[in-house]
Amino acid sequence: MSLTREHLAQEIIDAGRFLYGRGWSPATSSNYSTRLSPTEALLTVSGKHKGQLGLDDVLATDLSGNSLEPGKKPSAETLLHTQLYSWRPEIGAVLHTHSVNATVLSRLTPEDFIDFEDYELQKAFSGVSTHESQVRVPIFDNDQDIARLAAKVQPWLDAHPDCVGYLIRGHGLYTWGARMSDALRQIEAFEFLFECELKTRSLSHRKA
């Protein structure tokens, strides 16, 4: 049974309250979406405070990122959501957040990826069943031209079908899941790993 638009909108609203409450979506940063149908997404309207979303603060788009609701301005980063729905039909929700740890870690990392290894919490990611695995998270340079950024993300996705999320340097995190609950679980796992990584780097630096 497919979920109604109101139910999906409420999932986005609840996600915003939770993510704002954790400090991972400050002010009007971040954007969230769910799949509305095989060819449509339901996304946050641009510029809204994500801790205070209402039922009217979402809109439907097609998978090319075009608004299907004139009068409502879609998120500036709509294409980064819709490209994921086009990429994998099983993706049902996409979350983008702006945490301090994601921002700092992506700025401190000169490489274009971070590898997480030997963390038990890696098992919170879809498809990962042991800490003896490597979760590679690509880092793309920030770009205000979202079509250009999406064009850089796409080859990575195509070459890494198991990718569970990516960072935009100095900006934030994108992750996704079959359901909103899966995407939220992955956000929490990423935030745990980002904090571990920053603490490990800071303590190793102090010892040296």
Binding-site residue numbers for Zn(2+) are 96, 98
CA dihedral (126, 19, 188, 73) positive or negative: positive
Minimum gap (Å) between residue 67 Cβ and ligand MRU: 12
Residues placed in the known binding site: 96, 98
Q: How far is the CB of 145 from ligand MRU (least distance, A)?
A: 13
| Complex with ligand MRU: residue 96 or 169, whichever CB lies closer | 96
Would you tell me which residues interact with ligand MRU (CB under 6 A)? Answer: 27-31, 44, 46-47, 75-77, 96, 98
SS3 call for 38: coil
Query: Pattern 169-198, binding to Zn ion, x per CB under 5 A?
Result: ---x--------------------------
The entry of Zn ion, ligand MRU, none near residue 67 (CB within 5 to 8 angstroms by kind) is: none
30 vs 101 by CB, closer to ligand MRU: 30
Please check whether residue 188 is in contact with residue 101, taking contact to mean a CB–CB distance below 8 angstroms.
Answer: no
Query: Nearest 5 degrees, angle CA 80-CA 20-CA 14?
Result: 80
Residue 138 to residue 166: CA distance in whole angstroms: 5
CB 20 within 8 A of CB 32: no
Nearer to ligand MRU, 55 or 203 (CB): 55
Rg (CA), the chain: 17
Binding partner of 47, given Zn ion, ligand MRU, none, CB within 5-8 angstroms per partner class:
ligand MRU
Nearest approach, Cβ of residue 87 and ligand MRU (Å): 20
Compute the distance between CA of residue 34 and CA of residue 84 in angstroms, rounded to an integer. Answer: 11
Q: How far is the CB of 90 from Zn ion (least distance, A)?
A: 24
Backbone angles phi, psi at 177, to 5 degrees: -170, 175
* Contacts to Zn ion by CB under 5 A: 172
